[in-house]
Structures are given as structure tokens and as C-alpha cells.
Amino acid sequence: MATTRGEPVPMREIVGDAIRAPSAHNVQPARWAFRRADARVALLRDPARSLPVADPTSRDEAASLGAALEGFAIAASTRGLAVHGLVRNEEAARAFGANVVGGFDVVATFHLADGVSPDPLAPCVDRRRAWRGQFGPADEAEGAIARFADAANAHDAMILGRELAPRIATLIDRATWRFERRADYHAELWEWLRLDPRDPRYRRDGLTAEALLLSAPARAAGRVLMRPTVFRVLQATGLGRHLVSERAATESAACFICHCSPADRDPFDVGRGMYRLWLAATAAGLVLAPMSAIVDDADTRVIVEQALGLDASRRLTQVFRAGTIRGEPPRSPRLPVEEMFVEL
Ligand SMILES: Cc1cc2nc3c(=O)[nH]c(=O)nc-3n(C[C@H](O)[C@H](O)[C@H](O)COP(=O)(O)O)c2cc1C
């Protein structure tokens, strides 16, 4: 493996850092290939790791792939390497000479060029994690919010204050239930829930009991109640609504960070920007949880867009609840780095 200067490319190390990028339901759709002959890297998509029900337009998948690319670029920068000449989709397939490599779709391809300095957000890659619990006292987060506010514009972010927490808690729960009351939606979520640490997949992917902050009794209850055959009864009676409620965590937020992307930005680039925003908030000392149901449910998205006063040039592409906590959020699993490569 060689860069433009003929030195070996530390692909394994770069990908080992890049896998910390977030992905919807932690499905981890990204794979990587490196072609020695022309030192070209390809970002690939695993078609088996998609969410056809929750993500019918593949928007979240594209955002997750964009975040993976951004993660790769940040990791490469710490080795003095820059992503150079990035092309995507058909152009990428043309440049790589194939649409599909090893059963994976070619999404993007690029070279690595020497001579770049480390991305200032690199130190936050390992610290950034989703936090699904309640936050500490809001006044303790004031300094972190002020630090992030300085960087907000550069990350297409707008901040909503905690006085809106009760309203946003109602909106997220209503939007979540619009999806979760559907049998097909819940069945797909169940496929990615990892509620039993003895499950061999527990250390590979999906949403683990630890990442969801479930106590031992809650895990045991969840294994029964979230099972689609049982959850169906809770859907019919409406009781399931309480089980998937995010009200307590949302009401405790110190602020809400809204990612407001330019309206013409495609989901892949939205994902790149969203990951950088999350890292910048981490750098400021905040912990975040995305609330995608707010943007996935069109009615709810419009309500928040109006509260933000967005004009037609911007679109609400994510809402995070944010605050500070004592300690750190749990680290969610990733696939082994060896499985991330396609050998050419
Ligand atoms: C496009 C996208 C949408 C996401 N939506 C949600 C969400 O609605 N709720 C949530 O709790 N986490 C959401 N996440 C966070 C992922 O579940 C999380 O990144 C993944 O489980 C890996 O965990 P980590 O971020 O702690 O490394 C989303 C992530 C991405 C990239």
C-alpha cells in the first residue's frame, strides 16, 4: 500500500479509528477497499445492513456512510494524509471500474495525499458517544453550551433553550409512537436490539442494553415485552408508548442542538456535517442524543422548523438533546476491523 510519496498507507489503523463514526441503529453499513496498483480507496456499502422500513428512502444510510467517510478523513489526517479527489456514485463506480466489489456497492472513491495536519476534532472521536439517559443540572452545562455556541454557525447548528423541553418531549414521543405503533417498524427495530449480553452479536453491532442504559431487570423485561409478538398487544392497547418514551431524558436536556443543513445538501454530505457537529459539541463538553423521529415525521419536522424560523434555504436534518453528565456515556460495540475490508 502506498501514498503519493510511496509510503505505506496504514489502512488498518485508519479504519480502526473510522469505525467509531455513528450509524443509525448502529448497523454499520460502511466497508472499505484499497487498490494497491493506483493507491485508490473505495468506500463501500453493505446491502445487508440497511433499514428498509425505518429508512425507506435510505437517507439515514447515506448519512451513516457520509459519517463513515468523515471518520476516515479525520483518522487519515492524524497520519498526515488527506482525502483527495473524492468522487461518488456513478462517477465512483467508473473511477473504480466496478459498481460492486466483493458483494458491496461502490459509494465513493478517492486517493490519499500527503501533507495535511491533524483535524482538530480528532481527539473527540473516541469520546463522542450517544447518551440516552437523563442529563445533569442545566446550570452545570452553561459553560459547555456557550463554548459550542461559538462554533454553532460553522456547523449549521441552531440552539434551542431548555424552556422548550416539555414541548419537545411531547413532540419526540408523539413522533416516535407514530412509527413504533407499526408492527413492521417495531419488528425491524427488534432485529437490531441487543438486550441479551450472551447474544454473540452483542459485541458486534446494534443497540445494546448498555448503550440504552437498561438495568438488569429492565433488560429482562425488555426481552419479553419488546418481542414483536408481545409488543403487538402493547401497540394495540397503547401501553407500548410508555415503554419507548424518551420524555424523562428529553425534559432533563440543557438545550437542543438543531442541525439545519442547506436545503440542497444531499444526505451523504449532511451525514458528514452531522458527525462534525457532534464532535464539536463533544469538544465543547456536551453529550448528545439524536432524536431522528422529529425529522422523520414530516408534521413534527415542520413544527420545529417553524420554531427555528427556518426559511426555504435550510432544512432541519437532525435534532439532538444535549447537556452534561458526570462520567461518560457507554461505548457501543463495533464490528471487528478485519471485517471492514474487502481484499482486492
Ligand atoms: C443518521 C443517524 C440517525 C440516528 N438516530 C438516532 C435516534 O433517533 N435515536 C438514538 O438514540 N440514536 C440515533 N443515532 C445514534 C446511533 O444509534 C449511534 O450512533 C449508534 O448506536 C452507535 O453508537 P455511538 O454513537 O454511541 O458510537 C443515529 C445515528 C445516525 C448516524
From 19, 25, 213, 328, mutation site for ligand 1 pocket: most ligand atoms within 8 A of C-beta: 25
User: Could you read off the pLDDT of 88-119 as tens digits, one per residue?
Assistant: 999 999 999 999 999 999 999 999 999 899 99
CA within 13 Å, CB half, 325? 21
Going from the Cα of 22 to the center of ligand 1, the distance in angstroms, rounded, reads 6
Alpha helix stretches (DSSP H) within the chain? 11-18, 59-77, 89-96, 142-152, 165-180, 183-192, 216-225, 228-237, 240-243, 247-251, 267-284, 293-296, 298-308
Going from the Cα of 180 to the center of ligand 1, the distance in angstroms, rounded, reads 17
Closest atom of ligand 1 to 67 CA is: 31
Q: Bridge-partner residues for 314, per DSSP? A: 262
Report how far residue 193's alpha carbon sits from residue 212's, in angstroms, rounded to the nearest whole number: 9
Listed in sequence order, the residues at least 6 apart from 319 whose beta carbon sits closer than 8 Å to its beta carbon are 168, 256, 257, 258, 259, 290, 291, 294, 295, 304
What pLDDT tens digit does each residue of the chain (344 aa) get? 556 566 678 999 999 999 999 999 999 999 999 998 888 999 999 999 999 999 999 999 999 999 999 999 999 999 999 999 999 999 999 999 999 999 999 999 999 999 899 999 999 999 999 999 999 999 999 999 999 999 999 999 999 999 999 999 999 999 999 999 999 999 999 999 999 999 999 999 999 999 999 999 999 999 999 999 999 999 999 999 999 999 999 999 999 999 999 999 999 999 999 999 999 999 999 999 999 999 999 999 999 999 999 999 999 999 999 999 999 999 999 999 999 999 88
Decide if 43 contacts 65 (C-beta within 8 A).
yes
CA dihedral over 228, 48, 85, 74, signed as positive or negative: positive
Report how far residue 55's alpha carbon sits from residue 289's, in angstroms, rounded to the nearest whole number: 19
In the three-class reduction of DSSP (H, G, I as helix; E, B as strand; rest coil), residue 112 is classed as strand
Closest atom of ligand 1 to 21 CA is: 27
Residue nearest to atom 3 of ligand 1 (CA): 24
From 203, 332, 335, mutation site for ligand 1 pocket: most ligand atoms within 8 A of C-beta: 332
User: Could you read off the pLDDT of 294-321 as tens digits, one per residue?
Assistant: 999 999 999 999 999 999 999 999 999 9
Cell of 26: 448502529
* DSSP code at position 203: G
Q: Is 24 in the pocket of ligand 1 (CB under 6 A)?
A: yes
CA within 13 Å, CB half, 229? 2
Decide if 53 contacts 44 (C-beta within 8 A).
no
Residue nearest to atom 29 of ligand 1 (CA): 24
* pLDDT confidence of residue 36: 86
From 168, 292, 295, 317, mutation site for ligand 1 pocket: most ligand atoms within 8 A of C-beta: 292
